[in-house]
Amino acid sequence: MAKPFLLGVLGGMGPLATLDFQRRLLDATPAQSDQQQLPTVVWNVPQIADRQKALAGTGPSPLPQLIHGIKALNQAGASYIAIPCNTAHHWYDALSEVSEAPILHIVDATLDALAQSVERPQRVGVIATKGTLDAGWYQRRLALQGIEVVTPTEEELAQWFVPGCYAVKRGALVEGGALLSRQASALFARGAQKLVLACTEVPVALEAVNAPFLHLTWDPAQALAERCSHLWQSQGVFNR
């Protein structure tokens, strides 16, 4: 007998982004009852070492703690694992090696969704941590779709993105939203027609300030939630 479907969520990076992802899972699933909602087990442990500092060489690697979380989710019976943190995908290969359950990749989910989008902008801005930008995941995949990418400057990251991101982490959503809105406006000013919000704390902050350009954004957390929901729906739960 096949084991029951169970989605594992490796969260805590940050904890609010994880809660937001759980809400998106509910929104993405057309359930008519509790029993049709996507079953999840969530590892929302915020004590995982800072990913941005680790990649900058100013803090310890989070990999041992990430592996611990992955193993806990596997022990809980996860069928698949989602990680609602873009920067943590720097350790994706190492985590996949120790996980029995397949780990869904947030970039794959996002770019697959964009490829199916009716709208085909010529220039797309990417808001993300320096670690995610340096990895080039989004830039390479967007380029393969013939899309020119606009990214933040070092000065913008220091003035707006980093303090905006950390404002969200300490619960100052309006402050974070104001700073991240300035980052977004700078990318639009340089020709971006749409933005990829490639840090899961950015949508939370922009929604907190009702940013007027949200309709011009793509949200990787939403794409990942929809991928998870489709996997759940493929189990035939709505046909029973």
Res 219: pLDDT = 96
- The answer to whether residues 136 and 97 belong to one domain is no
Asked if residue 202 is part of any domain, the answer here is yes
Helix (H, G, I), strand (E, B) or coil at 33: coil
Do 113 and 87 belong to one domain?
no
Active site residue 165: no
Catalytic: which of 180, 197, 199, 204?
199
Assess whether 93 and 143 both reside in one domain: no
Q: Do 22 and 12 share a domain, yes or no?
A: yes
Does residue 155 sit within a domain?
A: yes
User: Do 94 and 119 fall into the same domain?
Assistant: no
Residues 77 and 143 in one domain: no
pLDDT band of residue 157 (cuts 50, 70, 90) is very high
Q: What is the mean pLDDT of residues 74-83?
A: 98
* 240: pLDDT strictly greater than 80: no
pTM value?
A: 0.95
Judgement on whether residues 117 and 17 belong to the same structural domain of the protein:
no
Interval 37-52: pLDDT, tens: 999 999 999 999 999 9
* Residues linked to residue 218 through DSSP beta bridges, in sequence order: 196
With a cut of 90, say whether residue 236 has pLDDT above it: no
Does residue 21 fall inside a structural domain? Answer: yes
CB atoms within 10 A of CB 165: 24
Residue 2 lies in a domain: no
- What is the pLDDT, as a whole number, of residue 21? 97
pLDDT greater than 60 at residue 6: yes
**In Å, how far are 2, 34, 213 from 80, measured between CA atoms?**
14, 21, 33
> Does 117 share its domain with 136?
yes
Structure tokens at 144: 């393969």
Residue numbers of the domain that contains 154: 107-220
Asked whether residue 43 is domain-assigned, the answer is: yes
CATH number for the domain harbouring residue 128: 3.40.50.1860
Integer Cα distance of 205 and 181 in angstroms: 9
Interval 154-161 mean pLDDT: 98
Q: Is residue 56 part of a domain?
A: yes
Q: What is the pLDDT of residue 1?
A: 54
From residue 127, how far is each of 7, 24, 56, 58, 96 by CA, in Å? 27, 20, 18, 22, 26
Active site residue 228: no
Q: pLDDT exceeding 90 applies to what percent of the chain?
A: 93
| Contact between residue 54 and residue 60 where contact means Cβ atoms under 8 Å apart | yes
Check whether residue 153 and residue 137 sit in a common domain: yes
pLDDT at residue 116 above 70?
Answer: yes
Domain identity same for 154 and 234: no
Catalytic residue among 28, 42, 78, 85: 85
Q: How confident is the model at residue 115 (pLDDT cuts 50, 70, 90)?
A: confident
Residues 168 and 196 in one domain: yes
- Lookup: tokens for 60: 């310890």
Is 1 part of any domain? no
**Count of the separate structural domains present in the chain:** 2
CA count, 13 A, side-chain hemisphere, 64: 4
Residues 11 and 93 in one domain: yes
- pLDDT at 165 > cutoff 90: yes
